[in-house]
Amino acid sequence: MLKKDANGEKPKLKTLTIEDSAYKTTYTDKFENRVKWEKPDERKIYSILPGTLIKLNIAKGDKVKAGQQLLIFESMKMMNIMKAAQSGVIKEILIKPGETFPKNQLLLEFE
């Protein structure tokens, strides 16, 4: 049984779909105002951690294979290796060795 709000009215129910099952529920303001998920562009590589670029193993125009090492960066006193998730050609490199970058910064793009 739904509780009535401060005005004595029942809340309006909305449909929430999870794995093809639909549920009637109320949403919190936090849920209503959340940033909606969008499928990421697989051609753009973003940083998952803030860090400093140590070594760049590719150049603009290079053909790379899935699993090939693209770059090495330092984050939280650890060296991290970033590998290509797909094969392709490097369209743009937006960072240089020695530069620091924040989380979620665009580092490079595939064609």
Q: Is the pLDDT of residue 3 over 90?
A: no
**Nearby residues of 82 by Cβ (< 8 Å), 6 or more positions away:** 45, 69, 70, 71, 72, 73, 107
Each residue of 61-96: pLDDT tens digit?
Answer: 999 999 999 999 999 999 999 999 999 999 999 999
What pTM did the predictor assign?
0.68
* Domains defined along the chain, listed by start: 44-110 (2.40.50.100)
Helix or strand or coil: residue 14?
Answer: strand
